[in-house]
Structure 1
């Protein structure tokens, strides 16, 4: 019933951890796992091709493009978009199916970081709230395939902020729920840039979007800051 779509780029360290985790915590509702590779230069392709339960899909680079590519090939009635560095909770697939049976066609999980820091713990606490300002791609996203197709999938002009953009459209259709179980995501960017620098960075992106910044302006600001 569920197609898991994982956009990847140079994720040779994270993918084995994630694939082992998915096998351990799923409860039988996964029809396929698609790893959509945006031209990795490490062993991402080899790891994906050698895994017996994975479909390896080469793609142009860019998460929106990669996730749309995976969605076009997916056969499941429910699409589940998952970042390579995020580990969903036990029985996540049955939790998604239960929401779907209850009429909820799209949603995510509550999120916590794998780093114990009071600010990151607080940010995780806010993901319990079912409001667009508390959403992000690391919380993962499940969506009925028909609904995904109806709204046109991910907007490929967004090379960053693509998750928030599609979630906003789902909220407008009143089709979004938050499952009360915790997905655990990596704090690797916070560790690389520092907690406060990273948080300010995300605030900048959020407010630039609120003030009408174009997808290209968001992309330029994002990678300028990451490379500085």
Structure 2
């Protein structure tokens, strides 16, 4: 069985669609859905409370903190971390369980955007490749609890790039698989900043990390650009 952990902050627009999809598209292998809220000031909490089967947990803001908080209370041996604006494929839970049973302790799905743009389509195509340079949090992440605990979860120093930092440690263990089914994620940041400005920002963050930038430096650079 799978525990789904969804970190949120002001997701009143995206969350209802996701929760309906999870209910309609799963094949009965979900033990719980845990929504970990980093202090939303919109109707996110009320939306979750309208779903009696979904557990609502308040948390300090920051996806790494929120995901670790959800993992601590999760009851299943398979943890599935999912962003609120990413919609997994049909029968995603069965696909994940099958990989775990085949001995793959961690992995994600191929990803495509909900926006038709040649560059975004090309980026989605490369998520088929099982290499760390092709990974990101919007592809979602499943991991065996034992391995998650062994790696001590997400590094809470990171307020951006937290998914990539943890996935890099998973790759270092030799445990990662890409499931050949498509998860669809929102291109809302690309719509807000423009495709090329957004891509430039991601490349800047990537190279800053490669050159040894601290978690705080990455955070400051990201939010300076996003809010400018």
Distance of 2:196 and 2:37 partners within structure 1: 31
Distance of 1:129 and 1:146 partners within structure 2: 26
Distance of 1:24 and 1:39 partners within structure 2: 28
Distance of 1:109 and 1:60 partners within structure 2: 28
1:60-75 to structure 2, matched below 5 A, reads: 60-75=60-75
Which string of whole-angstrom CA distances, capped at 9 and with x for unpartnered residues, describes residues 56-83 of structure 1? Answer: 0000000000000000000011000000
- Alpha-carbon offset, residue 49 of structure 1: 1.5
Distance of 2:151 and 2:187 partners within structure 1: 31
Per the alignment, residue 204 of structure 2 pairs with: 204
- Alpha-carbon offset, residue 50 of structure 1: 1.9
SS at match of 1:31: strand
Which string of whole-angstrom CA distances, capped at 9 and with x for unpartnered residues, describes residues 127-165 of structure 1? Answer: 000000000000000000111011000000001000000
Per the alignment, residue 100 of structure 2 pairs with: 100
Distance of 2:22 and 2:12 partners within structure 1: 16
Paired residues in the alignment total: 228
- Alpha-carbon offset, residue 10 of structure 1: 0.2
Per the alignment, residue 89 of structure 1 pairs with: 89
Per the alignment, residue 17 of structure 1 pairs with: 17
Instruction: State whether structure 2 residue 189 is matched by structure 1 residue 189.
Output: yes
- Scaled by the length of structure 2, what TM-score is found? 0.99
CA RMSD of aligned residues (A): 0.4
Unaligned runs of 5+ in 1: none
Distance of 1:77 and 1:31 partners within structure 2: 10
- Scaled by the length of structure 1, what TM-score is found? 0.99
Unaligned runs of 5+ in 2: none
SS at match of 1:104: coil
